[in-house]
Amino acid sequence: MQTKRTVFQSRVLPYFLLAPQLIITLIFFVWPAAQAIRQSFLRQDPFGLKETFVWFANYTRLLDDPDYLNALGATFVFSVGVTVLSMSLSLMFAVCVNRVLRSGRFYTTLLVWPYAVAPAAAGLLWWFMFNPSIGIIPYLLTFVGYEWNHRLHTGDAMVLIIIAAAWKQISYNFLFFVAGLQSVPQSLTEAAAIDGAGPFKRFWTVVFPLLSPTTFFLAVINITYAMFDTFGIVDATTSGGPSQSTNILVYKVYADGFIGLNLGPSAAQSVILMLIVVVLTVVQFRWIERKVQY
């Protein structure tokens, strides 16, 4: 694509215009990131009076730490769970709304609302609904003979944060899927109908393959979201428990660093997280943008 080039008279002006964005990035991203990298090579004494340079000791220790490996596993389960759940539900909603002609906008508005809810508020909402003592859902589950208690059962806790995190992400996915579906020409489904494919087959052999760019984009976005943007939800519902079962990486960084005040290893963890983000971003821009086309 050709973009229009603007020629500035002064050499300073363009930098001046870029400055607000650059300053924000430097102060709130580059500087803390640099701090984290520096910190990850240091070890503090318990009182924060002395720091020693320990090379990669923080990292090697992490990889031997069963708690950290457990957090890695939990993060994996969690992010896959959130991605699959939120994407499949939002795809289903999008397909339904796409079929409705008149009230489509109304449903769209309703479905987009959860996105405007702050993560902590969303977490609290689910905390109430799933509360083992006063929540409506555990109460209903007793009728089918299931005793819900995410404070005791590790599985329940994981399900709870997956549902809570997926719920918030459905709105976002939904918008993209609706846009994607609307860009699939109607004549294609009509041609497939004439070609003898039933509604189900039409969707999976014609519509869904054409959505693949949207689907892959959302998969990356959702994994990124689940791994890095779910601190609020975890903090408001399970706080990483019971017995570390929902202690996902991003929560562990916080718990170790700010509650445990173990700054070195916590910094090392954030550096690893940062690397994962970098990899995901590269995957998204390099591989997916090019590969998933038809």
Compute the residue count for the chain.
294
Smallest separation, CB 96 to other proteins (Å) = 19
Question: Closest CB to other proteins among 76 and 208?
Answer: 208
Closest CA to 173 of 235, 108, 124: 108
Helix, strand, coil abundance in the chain, percent, nearest 5:
75, 0, 25
> Can you say whether residue 55 is alpha, beta or left, with left for phi > 0 and alpha for psi between -120 and 50 degrees?
left
Minimum CB distance to other proteins, residue 288 (Å): 16
Give which of 124, 82, 88 is closest to 228, Cα–Cα.
82
Report in angstroms how near the CB of residue 101 gets to other proteins at its nearest.
Answer: 9
Residue 190 CB, shortest distance to other proteins, in Å, is 5
Task: Choose between 155 and 198: whose C-beta lies nearer to other proteins.
Answer: 198
- Which residues would be at the binding site for other proteins (CB under 8 A)? 185, 187-188, 190-198, 201, 205-206, 209-210, 212, 294
Nearer to other proteins, 193 or 283 (CB): 193
d(CA 99, CA 110): 16
Dihedral (CA of 219, 223, 224, 226) sign = positive
Based on CB atoms, which residue is closest to other proteins, 189 or 262?
Answer: 189
Closest contact distance (angstroms) between CB of 224 and other proteins is: 26
Closer of 53 and 200 to other proteins (Cβ): 200
Minimum CB distance to other proteins smaller for 147 or for 190: 190
Query: Exposed, middle or buried by CB within 10 Å (0-12, 13-18, 19+), for 250?
Result: buried
CA distance 209 to 294: 9
Count the alpha carbons within 13 Å of 16 in the hemisphere toward its beta carbon. Answer: 6
Nearer to other proteins, 48 or 196 (CB): 196
Q: Closest approach of Cβ 205 to other proteins, in Å?
A: 8
Structure tokens at 256: 């170790």
To other proteins, the closest distance from the beta carbon of 213 in angstroms equals 11
Angle, in degrees to the nearest 10, between helices 154-182 and 119-129 = 130
